[in-house]
Amino acid sequence: MKLAPLVCATLALSIASESLFAPVRAQTPLFPPPLTPLPRATPLPIPPRTTPLPVTPRPTTPAPTNGGICPAQLGGTLDRIVNQLPASWSVLVQTQAPRGTRQNLYSRNPFTQLVPASNNKLFTTAAALTRLGAQYQLRTPVFGNSNTSELATLRVIGQGDPSFSSAQLNSLTQQLRQKGIRQVGLLIGDDTVFRGADFNPYWDQEDRGQGYAPPVNSLMLNQNNIYTGAVPNPGNYFVGEFRNRLANAGIQVKGSTLVKRTPAPPGEVELASVISPPLSRLIFETNQESDNAYAEAILKTLGRLQDPNGSDSTASGVTAVRSILSELGVNPNRYSMVDGSGLADRNRASAEAFVQTLQAMAEGANADVFRRSLAVAGVSGTLSSRFRNTPARGIVFAKTGTISGVVSLSGYVTPPGYSPVVFSVIVNSGYSASTVRASVDSLVVALTRLRNC
């Protein structure tokens, strides 16, 4: 998808949401250096260790001479990595296989629910892809009171398309000019499709309005970002930009307004429209770049489809996600959501819930689409600068997560000498993100060294 320059700049802002709190190391050592907590940082209390999932026993064998790790040795290897960082961990590693045939290779507090950060986007995108399909698109229409050159009203009805950019606004303008429209009495921005607050009420006040945490409404333009910050009144901004473009195209607009609760009257005539890229592309942007605006818009889309007359599209979206994932076999008692992006620190999830989601998606019709939406170690997205000089490069597809005190990573690994593996690692601590990432990355690199022995 070719994006306008302003969109590219805003995408860079959303990428910053993954690295806001700590820089990503350009090269991660196999084992982390001695840990030095940040000044005054107090690690979160470690919850009582729950009974781990049963690990399928394998015969004890000597270490392979090629530097690999036998499945029977994996537990000891990963325990040494985890034990070096006193923190709250939830970890689960399984072979990728149909339900009933999966082998648990490693677990550490797999049922413990921790703050997951942007790993929450896995729940949102998996549910949307399952319910809507890879080819689902959002269509933003423009209606007039008639199809004459002079209109009393011209109404653009927002659909919450997170990919809607200046290029799409220009397209609507040109379509209207080609229809012969030359004068508009009142331009109306219809912002009624999404219900409830534009900002998630559980987002920290300091985050709201930052480039990585914009308001999410029905009428979105350039992800509601401008000049490195979020647009404070996005619906009015959309209408104002549309009016300017119409004027520049020779279409006079006498007045404009924003409607947030009054639906369009019957009898209007459709005059123009633009269509979003397919959902496969939308979730690619969501997961590869960890874009919060895309994730929240997708959640609200699920919400409005779940309950068109509901008063809160976000709450309805959460209900929809839980229903869809439950049908896929994800235990609803192992996670709780309050947003679609993971920016809120009120979200909770266990490694088991993410592994169940990843396993279910790997078995579904959209397995390849979902996998391709994830960042690739050392190659793309939020993992482009991690794992570059390690065996994980190019064979780990995963979703990152970082907010204050939280580092998470969940995805797929295809070890050269072993069957495909699904993993989830969530760490809550008082250590710096870079310190925690070093341990998490070492754990994932160890998975790439698995061998059949």
| Residues 327 and 434 occupy one common structural domain | yes
CATH code: domain of residue 159:
3.50.80.20
Give phi and psi for 406, each to the nearest 5.
-135, 135
| Residues 432 and 327 occupy one common structural domain | yes
Last residue of a domain, one of 232, 261, 276: 276
- Distance (Å, whole) CA 102 – CA 368: 20
- Distance (Å, whole) CA 439 – CA 264: 54
Res 66 pLDDT > 70: no
- Distance (Å, whole) CA 246 – CA 176: 9
pLDDT digits (tens, 9 = 90+) for 208-217: 999 999 999 9
Last residue of a domain, one of 276, 304, 334: 276
Contact 222, 6 (CB under 8 A): yes
| Residues 162 and 72 occupy one common structural domain | no
The reply to whether 91 falls in a domain is yes
Phi-psi region of 288 (alpha: psi -120 to 50; beta: other; left: phi over 0): alpha
The reply to whether 453 falls in a domain is no
| Residues 171 and 204 occupy one common structural domain | yes
Kindly calculate the radius of gyration of the chain based on its CA atoms and give it in whole angstroms: 24
> 128: which 2 tokens?
């949307």
What average pLDDT does the segment 7-11 reach? 36
| Residues 402 and 348 occupy one common structural domain | yes
How confident is the model at residue 34, as a pLDDT? 38
Q: Select from 98, 164, 166 the least CA-distant residue to 137.
A: 164
pLDDT digits (tens, 9 = 90+) for 23-36: 333 333 333 333 33
Q: Which residues contact 394 (CB under 8 A, 6 or more apart)?
A: 376, 377, 378, 379
| Residues 303 and 194 occupy one common structural domain | no
Last residue of a domain, one of 276, 305, 330: 276
Contact 63, 73 (CB under 8 A): yes
| Residues 130 and 96 occupy one common structural domain | yes
Task: Determine the 3-state secondary structure of 452 from DSSP.
Answer: coil
| Residues 311 and 438 occupy one common structural domain | yes
| Residues 413 and 319 occupy one common structural domain | yes
Strand blocks (E) in 224-334: 225-226, 229-230, 252-259, 269-275
Task: Give the count of beta carbons closer than 10 Å to the beta carbon of residue 112.
Answer: 23
The reply to whether 51 falls in a domain is yes
pLDDT digits (tens, 9 = 90+) for 227-255: 889 999 999 999 999 999 999 999 999 99
H or E element, residue 152: strand 150-157
Residue 134 one-letter amino acid: A
Task: Give the count of beta carbons closer than 10 Å to the beta carbon of residue 416.
Answer: 11
Res 446 pLDDT > 90: yes
Provide the pLDDT confidence category of residue 262 given band limits of 50, 70 and 90: confident
H or E element, residue 407: strand 406-413
Total number of domains in the chain: 2
Give phi and psi for 256, each to the nearest 5.
-145, 155
Q: Which residues contact 168 (CB under 8 A, 6 or more apart)?
A: 140, 161, 274
What average pLDDT does the segment 182-202 reach? 96
| Residues 311 and 397 occupy one common structural domain | yes
| Residues 303 and 379 occupy one common structural domain | yes
- Distance (Å, whole) CA 76 – CA 83: 10
Residue 42, domain extent: 5-134+281-448
| Residues 125 and 237 occupy one common structural domain | no
pTM of the model: 0.85
Task: Give the count of beta carbons closer than 10 Å to the beta carbon of residue 99.
Answer: 10
pLDDT digits (tens, 9 = 90+) for 292-304: 999 999 999 999 9
CATH code: domain of residue 394:
3.40.710.10
